[in-house]
A and B are shown apart, each in its own frame.
Chain A
Amino acid sequence: MGNNTCFHCGLDATSSTIIFDEKSFCCNGCKTVYEIFSVNDLTCYYDLQQAPGATPKDVEGKYNFLDNAKIVEQLLEFNNDDTQIVTLYIPHIHCSSCIWILENLNKLNPSISASIVNFGKKNVRVTFNSKSLTLKNLVTLLSSIGYEPFISLDDYSVGKKHIDRSLIYKLGIAGFAFGNVMFLSFPEYFQVDGFWIEKYKHLFRWLMFFFSLPVVFYSAQDYFISAFKGLRSKILNIDVPIALGVLVLFVRSSAEIIFDAGSGFFDSLTGLIFFLLLGKFFQQKTYTFLSFERDYKSYFPIGITKITTEGTEESIQVYDIEKGDRLLIRNEELIPVDCILIKGTARIDYSFVTGESKTVSKQSGDKLFAGGKQLDGSIEVDVLKSVEQSYLTQLWSNDVFKKDKELSFTNITNSISKRFTIIILLIAFIATSFWLYTDSSKALNVFTSVLIIACPCAIALSAPFTFGNILRILGKKKFYLKNASVIEQLAKINTIIFDKTGTITANKETAINYEGSELSLDEETLLKSTLRGSNHPLSRSLYNILNKHDILTLDTYEEFLGKGIEAQYKDHNIKIGSAPFVGHTSDTATLNTSVHVSTNNQYKGKFTFYNAYRKGISQLFNTLKKDYDLVILSGDNAGERDNLTKLLPTKTKLLFNQKPEDKLEYIKYHQNEGANVLMVGDGLNDAGALAQSNVGIAISENVNVFSPACDAILDASKFNQLFNYIKISKSAINIIKWSFLLSFIYNSIGLYFAVTGQLAPVVAAILMPLSSISIVVFTTVATNMVGRKLN
């Protein structure tokens, strides 16, 4: 452990001078957590993983809404006289240390009797004694050790989420029956004409029959339902030949044992359904800790502080906000409804709603819209509309959020199976009519054999196993897809549209540019020392880029919220902040955020902040331009136009000042022109566009926090890999085509046996699993080879 990184969270600790217990820390918060752990004998936390912690945030007042019994009641899973159980979502859970500390919460507070972590879902289920510990205490306790829970309006749902485990049950039943039936059919495979086999074969056959009943009627029911729905809407999907095959297998096998004609194909039947369900299960890879279905509810707080007519503060539920209420919005809090500013200076960040990166200052009496974030201190507002009627919520009433993308898309398997089904039925009828002329006793046998052997097991397996594996490979590379059909859609894309703010620019990094007369060394030192005391994000970024100077102890220091900072050192006075604040009036209208500096009432110059573009963006665009039409669709102003023209290939279209609805319309228009659109965005303002596009990818700096409803979430650090990911999706389609070819070869061999009327149960029993397993092996090996090409 070096002495320059924080022992608790691993961030750079060179500039801080906090040493405690011979370990360095980057801030007091981290040190405090370490103290808490060491006093409670929990330092094992640091043995499991190096620097696992997070800096605790100040949550003063943030969770006051948990004093409201009505809200708490909604969040609790179980509430008895003195026992309460709650499940909290904690985004920071990421390693074994996290599990260890969260499962040892009772060492920190004896009122907690049990806490169980679910790592996949990133949540912890805490059972605690409500007599000695309230939910609010619990949340502040978790926050104080750096594990702040994330509670949003989404959690305010009545009733618990139902977990669907039916696929596991179906798979279990099919597997159980498959194994036992295989066992029971073994004696008859070898066609031994012995006394004992004659005596006991009926028992064995009927046992097999009973084992396969639940498989056909329970495990396979989804295929029947889906085939029925497909036929009703005149579509021959892949489930039609599967359902047909299963039905024929079952009827013929039952008939054979009833009339004592043979042992039937129960082993093939159960095996087939088992493999099909296995494919389904394999494809059902979901990222439980990610949500692809978010709407505005995930961004909104549950509770808000209302100022009553008597002037006291009380927490109320967001849905209970009524027109005319007076609300208190704290620093960094989200404005949940459209309202009018009454008291305080508002600096609102609307980037989440409009994509405009510049913050807006508002005066008393101005209208504020829901979805904005207050950045400077507390404000008081009067409510104009309730939550459901606010502007942001209205965005969600667009029809685009109600349609299911998957339904409007015919996937590769279904398009193949349509032809396949017709060909198979043709072969079956031709072969049957041929046998009717030559040997009518065999006709029915041949007809059923063809349908049995052609049951497109291998075809139905190729896509699930290929896509399932690709999903896993991409997931490891921090590209999380909602489901398998997204891969197919991705392979068909021909137009790529990017949002600007937060998508091709990085949120956290800014480039700063100074214009004005040069600062003397004294002035620079003073500037640096002054900025050091401020917590404003702009001050922090500016402080970090200035050269190292000796830090002075200032004589006076005053911060004016929403305006700037003023400081005095000996006879030097400095003002840092907005143009009017520093006394600079001839401000050229600039479209970028800037901070102005004046010393001793003389204007010096301004620092202009630019968004830094993500690494490798120009290279990415140059590789993409060969195959795709590229568009930048930004809600921001045109301040960056020149910069972008330099950076990106010439034929990239640039459109600025696009409202969320404009983006949606733009995509719709191009889709009608025949374009397959991939939209890459990040904020709520892109939500409509993401839903309208064929594939919507949300870029996220931290995949655990917000991302609007989308088809895929891409970690921002992998942004420059986008082209490779699209390439992978194309390879996946090729792999599937190859495996179709492979399964056609199997089918031809099987059909030879079937058409000539010599399909013995043992042949089916060998061919069916062999084809299934070899398809699975082929797709797995091929996808892994493709995945290895990704660095």
Chain B
Amino acid sequence: MSVIYILLAISIIVAVGFFIAFIVAVKKGQYDDSYTPSVRMLFEDELVKENSNKKILTKKINK
């Protein structure tokens, strides 16, 4: 039954690991904006083709 010491130690270490991960994530600002990432992940990147020779660059077009 002494194995319970090892099990307890492991479980607490794992839990504390997750806890530290949570604190780090909050510190980095991952919880500051909870909406934008949910939209961002739905964008299809492949729709935008890399276009090397642009005809019009965005300079001010005289009206």
Contact = CB atoms under 8 A, between A and B. Distances in A.
Interface string A658-681: 000000000000000000000000
Given A176-B19, A196-B1, A119 B60 contact: no
Contact of A163 (B1, B8, B32, B58): B32
A35 B48 contact: no
A32 B49 CA distance: 21
Nearest to B45: A104
A99 B47 CA distance: 15
Contacts of B12: 180, 207
A104 B60 contact: no
Contacts of A108: 58
Interface in A468-483: none
Interface in B16-51: 19, 22-23, 26-27, 29, 31-36, 39-40, 42-44, 47-49, 51
Interface stretch (A36-44, A151-159, A229-237, A691-699): A36-44
A121 B55 contact: no
B56 A29 contact: no
Given A96-B42, A165-B27, A120 B8 contact: no
Interface in A108-143: 108-109, 116-121, 140-141
A168 interface: yes
Contacts of A119: 33, 35-36, 39
A141 B34 contact: no
Number of chain A interface residues as a range:
35 or more
A203 interface: yes
Given A32-B61, A117-B36, A172-B22, A200 B55 contact: no
A434 interface: no
A224 interface: no
Interface in A150-197: 163, 165, 168-169, 172-173, 176, 180, 196
Interface residues of B, number: 35
A29 to B, nearest CB: 7
B15 interface: yes
A39 B57 CA distance: 9
B47 A96 contact: no
A141 B58 contact: yes
B4 interface: yes
Nearest to A104: B48
Given A99-B40, A169-B26, A28 B63 contact: yes
B33 to A, nearest CB: 5
A121 to B, nearest CB: 7
- Chain A CB within 10 Å, residue with most, of B8, B39, B55: B39
16 contacts: A28-B63, A29-B63, A35-B56, A39-B54, A39-B56, A44-B47, A104-B48, A116-B36, A117-B36, A119-B39, A120-B33, A120-B36, A172-B26, A200-B4, A203-B5, A207-B12
Interface of A: 28-29, 32, 35-36, 39-42, 44, 58, 96, 99-100, 103-104, 107-109, 116-121, 140-141, 144-145, 163, 165, 168-169, 172-173, 176, 180, 196, 199-200, 203, 207
